[in-house]
Structure 1
Amino acid sequence: MRIALLTESASVGTGSAEGGWCDRLTRELAEHEFELYALGSVRAGSAHAGTEPLPGRLSGLRRADPRPAVLHGRARRRALSAYRELLRSLVEPAAAEGFGPALYALAEAGRGGGLAALLRSGAALRLIETAWKAPGAVAVSGSGSAGEPLVRDALVAADLLANCLRALSAPWYDERRPEGLGAADLCHALGGGLAVLPGLLAKHFYGIPLIITEHSLHLRERARGYRDAPYRRPVRALMLTFFRLLAREAYRQAGLITPGSSFDQRWQVHCGADPATVRVVYEGTPGADLPAADAEPEVHTLVWIGPAEPYGGLETVLRAFARLRAEHEGVRLLVHSAPAGGSRAAEAGARHCRELAAELFPEQPEAVRFQAGDGSRGGAGRLRDAHEKGTVIVFSGTEGPRPMLVAEAMLSGRPVVATDVGAARELVGPTGLLVPAEDPEALAAACSALLRDPERRARLGNAGRLRAQELYAVEPAAVAFRDLYLELASRLPNAETPFGAPAARRPFGRTAEVRVAAESPVPASALAPPADPGAVTGRPRRAGAMLAELRRRAVRPGPEAPEQRRAPSPDPVPVGAGIGAGLGADFAEGSGVGTGAELVGALSGAEEAGAG
């Protein structure tokens, strides 16, 4: 199959989190053809501009460089009307259900280019100001005038929304372009958030199924990041609502969703995902094949790993360590946190904890050592060095660490002590010690019990390593995605299903001959006779043309309609025709659309909304 991997990141080399995961996935599933579509743009002269090798067995890399164009006339009016409805869904709770139709209508209006410039124009700015002042808008938060939208808030919001919606201006939705998403068999979004936008549009335009993989819940990370964002309350509320509604629409439209833990699975269901579409697939890591860490250090050492923000729990472990040092002479603490230069909250938290360490151990500065590292993403080599220097590895956050951080610690063979929040109980299980959050006394008691008992440390460390190898090996993750890809492909309706008839849900109805017929230099007329005299007999039609043909055929009145819906020839048909027929059957069976008029409404609802 042809699989389009969708990512929001600009850095897609093997050193990045997305690139490393793509490398493992594409090498294990070499029978499929993968192409990477990256929304992030690399600035000229940066370290990643044209120097990063493609990860794994990718056949190509496509970036979302918007086409220079300007919208005029009816297309401009349709785009502004759709943008008005999109803003209304963001600021009026009663209009939240209109987010999806408005998004698709905006994409339809800007399909030929020019949308990026329009969303930064004065007309878009005025629409934001008008939306905030509407009677049903909820833009004011807090007391006084702190939550009143100002002109500068509208300027900031216009720029942020234009950047978020830049995926709608990507040249990937034109069936005449070979690099478009219409040639893919399915789309795989690597993470939530903006990465799902191309997948949503590919499903809307071509009916291509979508699978979403979230190793950490994107919506939760966005909400956590906006705590420290340098924006006023109206802007923060607007953007968080945008990501919340985008996540809900993505969960509704995705054929399958693969979270990295059962904890994230419950969050996704809470945010609107169908439980039947959610399958937990643990993130495979090559560290599962590496040997365990070497012998323990001579001096007992606790290794703390996490972010320096207040929710990371660094202050808790410092106070627990002060109690522990009174019982175990000479024990040390190694703090492995995110590097400096992060968010303002992280810098303030790190500064506060350094001052707290100096206050708690004024005469023993060597007791606590701060080591800058990447405690949130990547940095696997530095993390492994930190694991080898420790006797016990501690996670003391109040919101739960990333599952991969816990897995890497368990794979080292060192025992783990973690607060019982997030996915910690699911990952650690009976192989480590769990303590309540923000309880220095309980944390100190758990660490003290392990430091006193070397046999228990070895037993828990080995058990944790075996558990992490079982959950996070690369091969089980690749096998899971191989099965999920085939499951999505088997849901495609049969290419021979007549228009308007219930879809024959035969497994793999789109056979290999469909693609061979579409790519063969032999004329399409010699491979598949047209189903009606008005069909074009030249180059195989793609999904966009087939959708337009479906609309025209559905609205034709008269007794001749059943004859026009007769089944095509069982010979191989062009790939575009197969997709089009599949879409018509899918609407007829999956969404309850039975008549031609209803089908036109389902396919053209966004267009009608955009026309106002």
Structure 2
Amino acid sequence: MSSSPAPVPAPAPAQPYGRPPLRTVQVLGGAGADSSAHVRSLTTGLAARGVRVTVCAPVEAEGEYDFTGAGAQFAPDAVSAMRAVCAGADVVHAHGVRAAARALLALRGRRVPLVVTWAGGGPGADGSLGRLGRLLERHVARAAAVVLGSSSAQVDLARARGARDVRLARHAVPAAPGGRAEAADPGKTRAELGAVGRPLVIAVGSLVPHRGYSLLLDAARAWRGLDPAPLVVIAGEGPMRAELAGRIEAEGLPVRLLGRRRDAARLLAAADVAVLPSRWEARSLLAQEALRAGVPLVATEVGGVPELIGEAGVLVPYGDPDALSAAVAALLADPARRRDLSDAGRAQAATWPSEDDTVAQILSVYDELTHRR
């Protein structure tokens, strides 16, 4: 009796010109949603093209974003572990200035090109912390082979810090897996949040000072007088939780802190208005998700936000709670305006690069750098 042949594994994608697979290390300096989602998307696209990817990140980021499930090897972001994986890399790509600083320590003495995505990069702290931050930015900018900025504001800042080669690279926001946000029942979501018979306003992001949540609470004081008063929900976690919770209770504000949520896209799809009150944003994940979902957006006119949303949202000055409050109240009172912004948001989102576009642009940078060597 003949035995059946052993299964033959699927071949890896062919490499151009018979070269060995490109080896990249992606370095994350934290578990921030914007950078982590971008690296997960980038890893998926690179691995599908035959690139060998290792992601160095906090362990909690691997648990949240499953980089290994996207086709990468995973290593913790300790410098000793990074040094070992960077030894065999053709290109190291750091996402953020702090990640880049750690990558430079791991690369010390090695001639491996470093690509830096200039995540963040807004106005820094005052005093000695601000000076140290600017020194770190200058060190990273000058050491990088290529700096990628997701907005013109980031490109300008990296160039001002001394970067030799700075390029605009607007990365795509990954689609919600399986369209779950679109398939969810908004009425059920609103009932779960306690927003039945009243408007729902949402903000998403870590509870840190630059997100502007103190400003949002200032604006929410005025909304107590609306009939019905909107419910404001903030999905995110961070060091400002106790301070914000204290204010909400002491001032009787119609605001709920939801903590870190894995279903932020589902919450957003149920909202009447999304709010982005930040002191600085480059290419805001919330803004991208809101416009793509057709949720009217009120955002501060900072960083890369105006360039990102164009005429598809309402912009207000940072630091002006009266302007923020009035803009949200006006939208809640005007369903036709909200419908117009919903349509405009989806149209604006259609102009942004796709995930394939993003991967192709970054892979072309890697190819260029490896051909220089």
Q: What's the TM-score bracket when you normalise by the shorter of the two chains?
A: 0.7 to 0.9
Equivalences for 1:258-277 in 2 at 5 Å? 258-274=148-164, 276-277=165-166
Q: 1:26 aligns with which of 43, 53, 64?
A: 43
- Report the 3-state secondary structure (helix = DSSP H, G, I; strand = E; otherwise coil) of the residue aligned with 1:205: coil
Equivalent in the alignment of 1:4: 24
Equivalent in the alignment of 2:361: 480
Kept after mapping to 1: 8 A contact 2:116/2:148: yes
Q: 2:213 aligns with which of 291, 314, 317?
A: 314
**What is the identity percentage for the equivalent residue pairs of Structure 1 and Structure 2?**
25
Equivalent in the alignment of 1:184: 89
Equivalent in the alignment of 1:207: 111
Q: Is residue 330 of structure 2 the alignment partner of residue 449 of structure 1?
A: yes
Equivalent in the alignment of 2:231: 333
Kept after mapping to 1: 8 A contact 2:300/2:318: yes
Q: Distance in 2 between matches of 1:301 and 1:288?
A: 24
Kept after mapping to 1: 8 A contact 2:274/2:298: yes
Q: Distance in 2 between matches of 1:410 and 1:384?
A: 12
Q: How much has 1:193 moved relative to structure 2?
A: 1.5
| 306-315 vs 253-262, which moves further | 306-315
Equivalent in the alignment of 2:292: 411
Kept after mapping to 2: 8 A contact 1:2/1:33: yes
Question: How far does the alpha carbon of each residue in 1:227-276 deviate from its partner, in whole angstroms, 9 at most, with x for none?
Answer: 8xxxxx9xxx4x765554343222112221112322222222232223x4
Greater share of strand: 2
Q: How much has 1:205 moved relative to structure 2?
A: 3.4
Give the TM-score, by structure 2 length: 0.75
Kept after mapping to 2: 8 A contact 1:9/1:18: no
Q: Distance in 1 between matches of 2:212 and 2:30?
A: 31
- Gap change, CA 1:7 and 1:283, over 3 Å in 2: same
Kept after mapping to 2: 8 A contact 1:36/1:61: yes
Q: Distance in 1 between matches of 2:339 and 2:177?
A: 18
- Gap change, CA 1:433 and 1:356, over 3 Å in 2: same
Q: How much has 1:322 moved relative to structure 2?
A: 4.2
| 290-299 vs 456-465, which moves further | 290-299
Q: How much has 1:408 moved relative to structure 2?
A: 1.6
Q: How much has 1:467 moved relative to structure 2?
A: 1.9
Q: Is residue 78 of structure 2 the alignment partner of residue 61 of structure 1?
A: no
- Gap change, CA 1:39 and 1:420, over 3 Å in 2: closer
- Gap change, CA 1:32 and 1:216, over 3 Å in 2: farther
- Gap change, CA 1:25 and 1:305, over 3 Å in 2: closer
* AA in 1 matched with 2:166: T
Q: Distance in 2 between matches of 1:48 and 1:241?
A: 32
Kept after mapping to 2: 8 A contact 1:301/1:331: no
Kept after mapping to 2: 8 A contact 1:311/1:399: yes
- Report the 3-state secondary structure (helix = DSSP H, G, I; strand = E; otherwise coil) of the residue aligned with 2:298: strand
Q: 1:373 aligns with which of 254, 259, 271?
A: 259
Equivalent in the alignment of 1:471: 352
- Gap change, CA 1:323 and 1:250, over 3 Å in 2: closer
Q: 1:437 aligns with which of 289, 305, 318?
A: 318
* AA in 1 matched with 2:337: R
- Gap change, CA 1:38 and 1:465, over 3 Å in 2: same
* AA in 2 matched with 1:57: G
Q: 2:200 aligns with which of 292, 301, 304?
A: 301
Higher-Rg structure is 1
Equivalent in the alignment of 1:589: none
Equivalences for 1:123-134 in 2 at 5 Å? none
Q: Distance in 2 between matches of 1:356 and 1:63?
A: 43
Q: Is residue 249 of structure 2 the alignment partner of residue 354 of structure 1?
A: yes
How many residues were matched structurally?
A: 340
- Report the 3-state secondary structure (helix = DSSP H, G, I; strand = E; otherwise coil) of the residue aligned with 1:263: helix
- Gap change, CA 1:350 and 1:472, over 3 Å in 2: farther
Give the TM-score, by structure 1 length: 0.48
Q: How much has 1:48 moved relative to structure 2?
A: 7.5
- Report the 3-state secondary structure (helix = DSSP H, G, I; strand = E; otherwise coil) of the residue aligned with 2:265: helix
Kept after mapping to 2: 8 A contact 1:259/1:281: yes
Aligned-residue CA RMSD (Å): 3.7
Kept after mapping to 1: 8 A contact 2:94/2:117: yes
- Gap change, CA 1:9 and 1:433, over 3 Å in 2: closer
Q: How much has 1:427 moved relative to structure 2?
A: 1.9
Question: How far does the alpha carbon of each residue in 1:319-355 deviate from its partner, in whole angstroms, 9 at most, with x for none?
Answer: 43444454x411312221433xx32x44223312331
Kept after mapping to 2: 8 A contact 1:216/1:260: no
- Report the 3-state secondary structure (helix = DSSP H, G, I; strand = E; otherwise coil) of the residue aligned with 2:363: helix
Equivalent in the alignment of 2:10: none
* AA in 2 matched with 1:372: L
Equivalent in the alignment of 2:309: 428
Q: How much has 1:457 moved relative to structure 2?
A: 0.9
Kept after mapping to 2: 8 A contact 1:392/1:447: yes
- Report the 3-state secondary structure (helix = DSSP H, G, I; strand = E; otherwise coil) of the residue aligned with 2:252: helix
* AA in 1 matched with 2:333: R
- Gap change, CA 1:401 and 1:253, over 3 Å in 2: closer
Q: How much has 1:472 moved relative to structure 2?
A: 5.7
Question: How far does the alpha carbon of each residue in 1:117-153 deviate from its partner, in whole angstroms, 9 at most, with x for none?
Answer: xxxxxxxxxxxxxxxxxxxxxxxxxxxxxxxxxxxxx
* Structure 1 consecutive aligned stretches of length 4 or more whose deviation exceeds 6 Å: 46-49, 293-297
- Report the 3-state secondary structure (helix = DSSP H, G, I; strand = E; otherwise coil) of the residue aligned with 2:352: helix
Q: Distance in 2 between matches of 1:193 and 1:436?
A: 29
Q: Distance in 2 between matches of 1:209 and 1:25?
A: 18
Q: How much has 1:211 moved relative to structure 2?
A: 1.0
- Report the 3-state secondary structure (helix = DSSP H, G, I; strand = E; otherwise coil) of the residue aligned with 1:470: coil
Equivalent in the alignment of 1:112: none
- Report the 3-state secondary structure (helix = DSSP H, G, I; strand = E; otherwise coil) of the residue aligned with 2:310: helix
Alignment gaps of 5+ in structure 1: 65-165, 173-178, 228-232, 359-367, 493-612
